[in-house]
Amino acid sequence: MSAARDEILQRVRLALRDVPQREQPTDVAVERGYRPTADASREHVIELFVERVREYKATVRIVTAHALPTTIAESCAARGVRRLLVPVDIPREWLPAGIEALRDTELTYAQIDGCDGVLTGCALGIAQTGTIVLDGGQAQGRRVLTLLPDYHLCVVRTEQIVGLVPEAVARLVPAVCEQQRAITFISGPSATSDIELNRVEGVHGPRTLEVIVVTPD
């Protein structure tokens, strides 16, 4: 291959002369003494998720599956959303009547940018950090959908919520390692701390994040 590649690899090998030839990477011990899972009840994990998402100044509502469409309708009405962007595979039963849902059938950036808000599901929620994980799977669509509109309404089912970061990383193994999907971790609305280290919600991504946690009926 390239001369640069050969030379860099040679420099690195020369720099590592002190490493014994027969040493394997796994011979360098990595002690994973940290917590792999949360030591808490399901109720507590879900409560913590709600609390932590709220701390990022995102709105969180908890409803039963039965009440989901009404809640979505209320949220959109409260925001004044007329054109709601949705991924193509959004569950039909989520969508309330009377809302113009724009399905992402190869929409242009301009069309996406022109929407009042976007409605998606998610892959996971992480309680410890109040994080929503998108992996491009069901009801999530491509990455741009949750990026350009100023309002993101996200549905999280309680069984999608895990306790700690290691649990989320483990659950994402098939999506990353087998299906090579793009993953996005979202923790609250877009923010900056660049001016005097004051956190200001809303710079380039959606300035409003609203989460609906759905419990089974």
Partner 1 sequence: MSRSNSKFHIPLTFQESARAALENTQLRRNLGKATQTIRAKRASVVDELPDWQELREAGRAIKERTLRHLDEYLLQLEAAVQRAGGQVHWARDAIEANRIVAGIVLEHGASEVIKVKSLTTDEIRMNEALGQHGVTAIETDLAELIIQLAHEESSHILVPAIHKNRAEIRTLFMHTLGISELSDEPAELAAVARRYLRTKFLSVPVATSGVNFAVAATGTIAVVESEGNGRMCLTLPEVLISIMGIEKVIPGWQDFEVFLQLLPRSSTGERMNPYTSFWTGVHPGDGPQAFHLVLLDNGRSRVLADHIGRQTLNCIRCSACLNVCPVYERTGGHAYNSVYPGPIGAILTPQLLGVERAGSLPYASSLCGACYDVCPVKINIPEVLVHLRAQVVRHKQTSEGIKGKLDPEAIGMRLLARVFRSPERYEQAQKLARLGQIPFARRGIIERLPPPLNVWTTMRDLQAVPRQTFRDWWRKRRVFGSVPKADADGVGDADGVDAEAAAAGRRNV
Among 63-71, 78-86, 87-95, 193-201, the segment contacting partner 1 (CB under 8 A):
193-201
Instruction: Give the residues across from 215 on adjacent strands.
Output: 64
Query: Closest separation between CB of residue 199 and partner 1, Å?
Result: 8
Instruction: HSE, CB side, 13 Å, CA atoms: give it for residue 132.
Output: 30
Residue 73 in the binding site for partner 1 (CB under 8 A): no
Using CB under 8 A as the criterion, what x/- string covers residues 2-41 for binding partner 1? Answer: x-xx-xxx-xxxxxx-xx---xxxx-xxxxxxxxx-----
Candidate residues 38, 50, 52, 96; the one interacting with partner 1 per rule CB under 8 A: 52
Q: How far apart are CA 177 and CA 19, in angstroms?
A: 30
Query: Which residues have C-beta within 8 Å of that of residue 72, sequence separation ≥ 6?
Result: 94, 95, 96, 99, 119, 153, 155, 212
> Rounded distance, CA 23 to CA 39, Å?
37
- Residue 184: CB minimum distance to partner 1, A: 6
Nearest distance from C-beta of residue 111 to partner 1, angstroms: 12
Element (H, E) at 69: helix 68-79
CB 50 within 8 A of CB 77: no
Q: Is 51 in the site for partner 1 (CB under 8 A)?
A: no
What's the closest the beta carbon of residue 126 comes to partner 1, in angstroms? 8
Which residue bears the tokens 């659950």?
171
86-125: which residues touch partner 1 (CB under 8 A)?
109-110, 113
**Per CB under 8 A, which of residues 134..173 are in contact with partner 1?**
136, 142-144, 147, 165-166, 169-170, 172-173
